Amino acid sequence: DWTMAAFRQEMIEKIRAQVGSGRVICGLSGGVDSSVAAVLIHEAIGEQLTCVFVDTGLLRKNEGEQVVSLFRDHYNIPLIHVQAQDKFLGALKGLSDPEQKRKTIGRLFIEVFDEEAAKIDGAEFLAQGTLYPDVVESVSPHGGPSTVIKSHHNVGGLPEYMKLKLVEPLRELFKDEVRALGRELGLSEAFVGRHPFPGPGLAIRIPGEVTPEKVKTLQDADAIYLDEIRKAGLYDDIWQAFAVLLPVKTVGVMGDARTYEDVLALRAVTSSDGMTADFYEFPWPVLGRCATRIVNEVRGVNRVVYDVTSKPPGTIEWE
């Protein structure tokens, strides 16, 4: 694609012009956006870039390891892997308000990140994979007055004490363009095709209080859901598919015993940029297989429901 090839070249020149001989730190989230930004910047300035991956413990199953191996082993990009799972889960204890959870994660993320950044000698710049819709939604999420309905913790600049200048090469791009750029940069189809994942991670897919046990349950259920979607060949037709662990218990029956366990909601939507979305019309047998496997294989879940709300009036995430 010559447009992307040209954009890539143009961005590389821009990054070099902005950064000069300065050092850049890039926060990797595990998602496509920050990964594409990191690979692009690495191509522009090589060893002047150090990536920092803060593992919040709120990623999808096994995703932390995948990010580390892609960057360290495949791209050979200097990477600091911060194991901050306990810190994040500890800070989330007792919190159930969605915005409080987001703010806590955002604050802690910056704290942990800053601690690492301070160790990188002479760092002047911070790179982020901010996209155009992030910029727009942070100002006016649903086209109305600028009331912040959801604070996206990965946007909005830097706290005073971080004194780093921003490098945001994807700021003018939409998601499909970031994917095209990722392909242009040699990232695998499976990697660039991954569904978007929110910065606060699984914490906003567990309405109510987040506990380590709930995170584990949700990771297992979510992995089965995505596995069945891939097996059915539907993954690429869907913008985002994920599970939400509800703070609701219902009665069920397993063998000849009564159960009283949590409800899991499945969500899948089609969209072109995340600003509006339609619920995805699954073939029923696929949903049926997901429900059967999840109830049989994941302890603590005895009922599965499917969300048929579009955006608007619903949002994609439940919090």
Tell me the binding residues for ATP: 29-35
Q: Considering CB under 6 A, how many residues would be counted as binding ligand XMP?
A: 15
Pick one of 8, 23, 150, 179: the residue that binds ligand XMP (CB under 6 A): 150
The region of 43-51, 123-131, 197-205, 292-300 touching ligand XMP under the rule CB under 6 A is: 197-205
Nearer to ligand XMP, 122 or 313 (CB): 313
213-218 — which CB contacts under 8 Å span 24+ positions? Answer: 213/300, 214/245, 215/57, 215/58, 215/89, 217/245, 217/262, 217/298, 217/299, 217/300, 217/301, 218/243, 218/244, 218/245, 218/264
Least Cβ distance, residue 80 to ligand XMP (angstroms): 21
Nearer to ligand XMP, 101 or 303 (CB): 101
Nearer to ligand XMP, 217 or 271 (CB): 271
Residues contacting 177, CB < 8 A, separation 6+: 4
Distances (CA, A) of 276 to 206, 216, 226, 241: 22, 30, 22, 15
Least Cβ distance, residue 314 to ligand XMP (angstroms): 8
Least Cβ distance, residue 98 to ligand XMP (angstroms): 9
Least Cβ distance, residue 271 to ligand XMP (angstroms): 8
Distances (CA, A) of 144 to 140, 213, 309: 6, 38, 20
Nearer to ligand XMP, 150 or 214 (CB): 150
Integer-rounded Cα Rg, in Å, for the chain is 20
State the binding string over 161-190 for ligand XMP (x if CB under 6 A, else -).
------------------------------
Looking only at residues 209 through 268 of this chain, which bind ligand XMP when binding is defined by CB under 6 A? Answer: 240
Nearer to ligand XMP, 171 or 311 (CB): 311
CA dihedral (35, 265, 262, 256) positive or negative: negative
Pick one of 102, 179, 205, 303: the residue that binds ligand XMP (CB under 6 A): 102
- Residue 64 lies near ligand XMP (rule: CB under 6 A): no
Distance CA 49, CA 216 (A): 33
Least Cβ distance, residue 238 to ligand XMP (angstroms): 12
- Residue 200 lies near ligand XMP (rule: CB under 6 A): yes
- Residue 317 lies near ligand XMP (rule: CB under 6 A): yes
Q: Is 188 left (phi over 0), alpha (psi -120 to 50) or beta?
A: beta
| Backbone φ and ψ of 51, nearest 5° | -95, 145
Interface positions with ligand XMP (CB under 6 A): 102, 150, 152-154, 196, 198-200, 240, 274, 311, 315-317
